[in-house]
Amino acid sequence: MNTQVCIIGAGPAGLLLGHLLRAEGIECVVLERQTGDYVLGRIRAGVLETITVDLMERLGLDGRMKEEGLWHDGFNLADGERLIRIDMADLVGSRVMVYGQTEITRDLMDACEERDLEVIYEAQDVTLHDVEGDAPYVTYSKDGAEYRIDCRMIAGCDGFYGPSRQAIPASVGKEYERVYPFGWLGILADVPPCNHELIYANHERGFALASMRSTTRSRYYIDVPLTEKIEDWPDERVWDELAVRLGAEAAESMVRGPSIEKSIAPLRSYVFAPMRHGSLMLCGDAAHIVPPTGAKGLNLAASDVHYAAEALTALFKHADNDAVVRYSDKALARVWKSERFSWSLTNLMHRFPEDGPFERAMQVAELDYIANSRAAQTSIAENYVGLKV
């Protein structure tokens, strides 16, 4: 098979890029290792920045999101005593959309046939070849047969563990990494949220987050040591811990219910640079990971894909290779700022095992500063709704 762009991975990054390219009349094929149902089974964050909402709008795939999603004008930081409300609408004239990432992926998947975006699921042994030159190709196997896709460009949208980043020689790339000494235990339940907006809490027993998927489905998290086993956390224990960490007011309105999903995820900050090598461009989790504090993962994938689609459009429609050459610098400038925000919100809202009284005093001072400074709140709001692309 011959195509212009071979996209590896049908997560939100790969599907979004595929649709943006098809909208420009660019030929592409998406290769995905898993089945579509498996991809939809992954539970991820659900807060969309302006860039993500705009891309869905531009594609005309925003119908269900606009109907079922919830616009949030603000969110809250809780410091054990008070709720500090960050009023994004008032501070920066913008807001976020609460709509599950699974739903975005489903909307993108459902539109593939109609938009003529070919996705090959259950593609095994996907391997990238000759990425350094102008005629790369990708091989894979499916149902016992071997296939080869010749293309001009490869988009590596295959997440943190995919083969694309590995195809860049270690001598060319540099890794930046921070691993955090705790994980987030998440619980999803069909109960109304305890607050109409999100609450991120820093309590002496640890971090907690009250989030939601809809007015009838809640998503909550607490941080736990990485040594914890999910079997040791029956639902009641999670609810009890949430009630303490989120504070009396939230606890009072919190409705408990059986978990639909419950798991522990590690937290990591990671950046791989450069994000392009030869004819290979990396987008989304393939190039970077953020801790979930601030919900930047999907949104960062969306901004990468926006820059990548722009560059590939310039290449294929105007024979202009400059944007491809500049892609990495452009994408990384925004990636680093989102990395910084996610890292700083993680540092502010979690109790680290190595912290002493000084570090704790710094958190108290910073939260008090934020509570009393419009300038500090504006900076947080500006980052939370998403920096301009």
* Triad 47, 230, 248: Cα angle to 5°: 60
Report the partner that residue 310 touches, choosing among ligand APR, ligand PHB, none (CB closer than 5 to 8 A by kind). Answer: none
Cβ proximity to ligand PHB: between 115 and 262 the closer is: 262
Active site annotation includes 384: yes
Shortest distance in whole angstroms from residue 377 CB to ligand PHB = 17
Cβ proximity to ligand APR: between 7 and 349 the closer is: 7
Residue 291 makes contact with ligand APR by CB under 6 A:
no
Please pick, from the candidates 185, 295, 315, 348, the single residue that binds ligand PHB as defined by CB under 6 A: 295
Residue 293 makes contact with ligand PHB by CB under 6 A:
yes
Q: Which range binds ligand APR by CB under 6 A, 113-121, 152-160, 168-176, 318-326?
A: 152-160
Shortest distance in whole angstroms from residue 82 CB to ligand PHB = 20
| Catalytic-labelled residue, pool 200, 220, 221, 327 | 200
Residue 294 makes contact with ligand PHB by CB under 6 A:
yes
Residue 219 makes contact with ligand PHB by CB under 6 A:
yes
Q: Which range binds ligand PHB by CB under 6 A, 49-57, 291-299, 301-309, 320-328?
A: 291-299
Please pick, from the candidates 10, 13, 45, 331, the single residue that binds ligand PHB as defined by CB under 6 A: 45
Nearest residue to ligand PHB, by Cβ distance, number only: 211
Please pick, from the candidates 298, 315, 335, 348, the single residue that binds ligand APR as defined by CB under 6 A: 298
**How far apart (Å, rounded) are the C-alpha atoms in residues 267 and 272?**
17
Active site residues: 72, 200, 292, 296, 384
Residues that bind ligand PHB (CB under 6 A): 45-47, 198, 209, 211, 219, 292-295
